[in-house]
A and B are shown apart, each in its own frame.
Chain A
Amino acid sequence: MSRKTTVEEQISNVTDPRDFVKTVIPELQDTDTLLRCHICKDFLKTPVLTPCGHTFCSLCIREYLNREQKCPLCLAELRESMLRSEFLVNEIAASYTHVRAKLLEFLSLEREREAQSAGNSSCMVIEDGHQRNSPNQNGEAGKAGDGDDDDDEIQIIATRENRLSKRSGDALVFTGHKKMRKESPGTGISSLLAKSKSPVPQQPKLADCPICGKAFPLDVLQRTHLDECLTTESFHKSENISSSPVGPKPEFNSPPKQSSTRNSIETPVSTHFNRYSESTSNNSVTRLAKLNFSSTSLQQLKQKLSSLKLPVTGSRQQMINRYSHYEMLWNSNYIDSIDPVDESILRRRLASWEASHNASDGQQKPGGISKFLTKNPMQDFKTDRFDRKGWARAHQRAFRRLRKEAKASLKRSKPVRNIENTENSQTETSSHINHSTTIEQEMVPSNQLGSRNGHITASSQSSSGA
């Protein structure tokens, strides 16, 4: 793989549970860790459950079980057939990774504001429910001035209703500002709601509901809709955490510029839940069986591979590796995945895996898909496996140029050469395409062309550079 970025840059892109340590809710570190696979340490991708109660990425555990039939965590006996997919965890992890960056950004911002307001007690006040500015933000954050309100934050995540009242309540309690006290909780809420209205200033009477994302007249939203929406939501939440209100939370009182992203955030909140509730087990495609390779003949192996539309090139061991890996990809996709991809995508994944894995261990060069990805595609050009026509087609232009240059140089060298020899080599140049490929690639004249001297070699060098 070519890596363009430096290690430092890459590290800054790596997510780590400890990212949360410096936010106002360090406890999220635990949640973050729990949603990761023990093998790849990344967020669970197509998680599967073992009978011993542990969860791993489908591909990670299947790869591990190919060599060790135990649970990597508790070492209990485990076979691939015992794995069960966990659609719920899949969606929880997916929805969490979706909001993680925003959550982290928001929580760190909150911490900064906390630090700011702790040093600077000049909290500004909400002047107007319909007008938002940065002092307003500071005023909001002012409530977080005390370090011991982590619990409040957690409750805030739990229910928005609670959060709204709590927030304005906090503002009253913590920031000992007279002006602030004058603000009734109701005004606080309306100011918050007004905020969400900001992306559509042309329609001042409409506001987006922070829960369902639909636009309602401000009045209706405040009086009835919000309550309805929260009720429905808590009902949803009891079934599936993936539809938790964490989604819209970060942007809810973040700077106004971010509220424009509202719609793009609100949609996935329900899509993860919908995907989960509509998920069914995949019975249309059957599990790909493991082969007993020791009792499988080369012919059978080739048959099996070609019936799956896989290349049948390479050594026996490479074909075995190819089958095993494809079997893993297949079963993970069709048995464990909530959203299986097409076979052609599986084959592409297999090809990219082969390029990096199946080439290095064997002494023989790999064939098939990865052939042209490896360094020396000319390795087996003398055997039947070499795709002569394909090669000739792929390098048609270079060959044509090569022939032209060869002819030109022959004309020039005619006076010093005997005619018979020249004609001979001329016909050879045009008919033996594959031999000219040899020159082009390896710059070693083959037998037929060996009689000729520097001219051809030089011209072929220049053409290989094309």
Chain B
Amino acid sequence: MSKTAQKRLFKELTQLIKDSPQGIVAGPITEDNLFVWDCLISGPPDSPYEGGVFNARLEFPRDYPLSPPKLLFTPSILHPNIYPNGEVCISILHSPGDDPNMYELAEERWSPVQSVEKILLSVMSMLSEPNIESGANIDACILWRDNRAEFDKQVKRSILRSLGL
């Protein structure tokens, strides 16, 4: 398909294979399609998500890197910035043109100089520090703000369930 996108994805894959940040594994699901990646993200320490390993799917558009990829947690996890369908809502995944919430700073948004590695690192930091001002999952936002203990408990329970314990 798109040569530029494919070449660039290859570069990023090589880079991730040679030197991936701690707690992150990512790569294309099949050899035939470089535009869909599977990622494993481990929950950052000192967060409710510690100890969990979360599976996510990265979907790249054909005009990557001009447009940002989409990131979906499969299955979805309870988090103020993750929609119930698993879609992650963070500024780095929004191109500067579309700002659904009219609050994001331009410099935090997607530009071709960003990379898969930076996205996944942002997701890690999103897990440690939810941003409830741009909530995607309102229930999770309220729970996180008003009843942190219950929030932590629910997250822990789902982690244990996902690990089959």
- Chain B nearest CB from A13 CB (Å) reads 9
Within 45-95 of A, Cβ neighbours of B (below 8 Å) are at 60, 63-64, 67-68, 70, 72-73, 75
Interface-lining segment among A34-42, A270-278, A283-291: A34-42
Given contacts A10-B10, A40-B8, contact A68 B1 (CB under 8 A): no
Tell me the bound Cα distance from A142 to B106 in angstroms: 55
Interface-lining segment among B13-21, B42-50, B84-92, B148-156: B13-21
- Chain A nearest CB from B34 CB (Å) reads 8
Given contacts A7-B31, A70-B96, A73-B111, contact A41 B3 (CB under 8 A): no
B2 beta carbon closer than 8 Å to chain A = yes
Count of A-B contacts judged by CB separation below 8 Å: 72
Tell me the bound Cα distance from A7 to B35 in angstroms: 13
Within 1-60 of A, Cβ neighbours of B (below 8 Å) are at 1, 3, 6-7, 10-11, 14, 16, 18, 38-42, 60
B65 beta carbon closer than 8 Å to chain A = yes
- Chain A nearest CB from B154 CB (Å) reads 38
Residue from B12, B14, B15 having most chain A Cβ neighbours under 10 A: B14
Given contacts A1-B1, A16-B18, contact A72 B111 (CB under 8 A): yes
B62 beta carbon closer than 8 Å to chain A = yes
Tell me how many residues of A have a C-beta within 8 Å of chain B. 26
Q: Are B31 and A64 interface neighbours, CB within 8 A? A: no
Collect the chain B residues with CB atoms within 8 Å of residue A7's CB: 28, 31, 34
Contact partner, B31, options A1, A6, A41, A357, Cβ 8 Å: A6
Tell me how many residues of B have a C-beta within 8 Å of chain A. 32
Given contacts A67-B97, A70-B96, A75-B106, contact A11 B113 (CB under 8 A): no
Tell me the bound Cα distance from A214 to B106 in angstroms: 57
- Chain B nearest CB from A302 CB (Å) reads 26
Contact partner, B11, options A1, A6, A41, A75, Cβ 8 Å: A41
Within 217-266 of A, Cβ neighbours of B (below 8 Å) are at none
Q: Are A11 and B17 interface neighbours, CB within 8 A? A: yes
Q: Are B11 and A356 interface neighbours, CB within 8 A? A: no
Tell me the bound Cα distance from A40 to B6 in angstroms: 10
B146 beta carbon closer than 8 Å to chain A = no
Seed contacts A68-B97, A73-B111; 13 additional CB < 8 Å A-B pairs: A1-B6, A6-B31, A7-B28, A11-B10, A11-B17, A18-B15, A42-B8, A68-B95, A72-B112, A73-B113, A75-B111, A356-B1, A356-B2
Shortest 5 CB-CB distances between A and B: which pairs? A41-B11, A72-B111, A39-B112, A38-B113, A7-B31
Q: Can you report 18 residue pairs joining A to B where beta carbons are below 8 Å apart? A: A6-B31, A14-B13, A16-B15, A18-B15, A38-B113, A39-B65, A39-B113, A40-B8, A41-B115, A42-B7, A60-B4, A63-B66, A64-B66, A64-B112, A70-B106, A356-B1, A356-B2, A360-B1
